[in-house]
Amino acid sequence: MTKTGCFTSLQLLAKRLLPCTKQTSTHNDNKPINHGPTLVIHGGAGAILKKNLTDEKRLEYIQALKEALNIGYNILEKGGRAVDAVEAAVRIMEDSPLFNAGKGSVFTLSGKNELESSIMLGTPSHPAGATTLLHTVKNPITLAKTVLFDPEVPHVFLGGEEAEKYAREQGLETVDPCYFWTEARWKQHLEGLGKGRTKGREAEGYPNENWINGSEAEKNILHYDAGIRKGECIDPNPMGTVGAVAVDYDGVIAVATSTGGRNNKKDGRIGDTPLIGCGTWADNETCGVSGTGNGEFFIRYVIAKEVASRMEYLNESVELAASAVINRMSNVGGEAGVIALDKYGNFAMPFNTQAMFRGFIRVSDGIPHAYIFPDD
């Protein structure tokens, strides 16, 4: 087969069996339409059934997504930087108990919260900042941004106690670990462990002597994960993430992603979110990508970078590239969703789960759009 024939075959194969991509923007490879500054966000993908999400709770999510979109819009509309817009949007979601990031983070096996984040610019040198294993930093995304822009820090990735020490030295807001406790996430934690208790000392900031030993709960956790996949869990989004991608008036793309990780993860586990190329990627010439879902698959398949690579080497649109990558995840059993945005403001939001919190806003009209289910 000739190189040309191989190239054509790859493109045809990529167009088959594409996942849910309802909210997309058209892309013309010959005459691309420049939509101007655009912000796209997600609040995590997961197994969420409509019957388990009340109208009141659904409205809460939609309002939270629109709040994040509006704050990012206010920055972009005034000529601000994409990196500031994505940080601001993600901070809103980190401060909300609804999403699995910041305040709403899930618990580890031992009952702790371990937060992580990353942020990246699409400029030629690909500057980035990332953090992990945080227990006291209120907004991990701001710490990642600080790492990115601090000329005294020649690193991309900081974690653990030294990262938290650095946050304090930089004057970033830190909190007592109890700040991250929420009843909904604690219930998910206990359900995953096969426990029934949600009251008492465990519900009062999980003091050290009452952290639950998760080493006996592997079987129960497997059953809980099966319930998650079937959408049977009442509390939505137990393994979600939050993220934002924006392009500004200068054509610079920025991406920010933040998470509490997977419910009942092993202490010390590092997911895809802080790993550049896995859960986060930005390149002005292709696209910016933020991912959500099963982090181990994102790491093994380098999902975020894969979307950009398909655009670069196969000349695919952002919609086709993102959808093809999510379709690949479906074929290997990975639950995933991504938001992807190119420099012209074209975007895609494919996912293979039952739902994904997501939305977008353009400076051209200033109208926030937010969705949860595939048919929204």
**pLDDT tens digit sequence for 214-235:** 333 343 444 434 444 444 444 4
Sequence-distant (6+) residues with CB within 8 A of 95 are 102, 103, 139
The residues assigned a catalytic role are 241
pLDDT at 208: 36
For 8-54, what is each residue's pLDDT tens digit?
A: 444 444 433 445 544 444 444 556 789 999 999 999 998 888 888 99
Residue 322 has pLDDT above 50, yes or no: yes
Residue 161 has pLDDT above 50, yes or no: yes
Say what the pTM is: 0.84
Residue 346 has pLDDT above 90, yes or no: yes
User: What distance in Å separates the CA atoms of residue 122 and residue 128, rounded to the nearest whole number?
Assistant: 9
Better pLDDT: 29 or 188: 188
Closest CA to 120 of 251, 253, 255: 255
Alpha helices for the chain (secondary structure H): 3-14, 55-77, 82-94, 140-149, 160-169, 183-193, 218-230, 295-301, 303-314, 318-332
Better pLDDT: 25 or 320: 320
Sequence-distant (6+) residues with CB within 8 A of 226 are none
Better pLDDT: 192 or 122: 122
Better pLDDT: 116 or 30: 116
Confidence of residue 201 (pLDDT cuts 50, 70, 90): very low
Q: According to CATH, what is the number of the domain 17-104+115-127+236-371?
A: 3.60.20.30
Residue 323 has pLDDT above 90, yes or no: yes
pLDDT at 12: 41
Lowest mean pLDDT among 69-73, 188-192, 199-203, 350-354: 199-203
Query: pLDDT averaged over the chain?
Result: 86
- Binding-site positions for substrate read 269-272, 292-295
Lowest mean pLDDT among 25-29, 183-187, 312-316: 25-29
- 263 Ramachandran zone, left/alpha/beta (phi>0; psi -120 to 50): beta
Residue 353 has pLDDT above 50, yes or no: yes
User: What distance in Å separates the CA atoms of residue 119 and residue 146, rounded to the nearest whole number?
Assistant: 10
365: tokens are 């009209």
Residue range 187-193: average pLDDT? Answer: 90
Residue range 160-170: average pLDDT? Answer: 98
Residue range 65-88: average pLDDT? Answer: 99
pLDDT at 192: 86
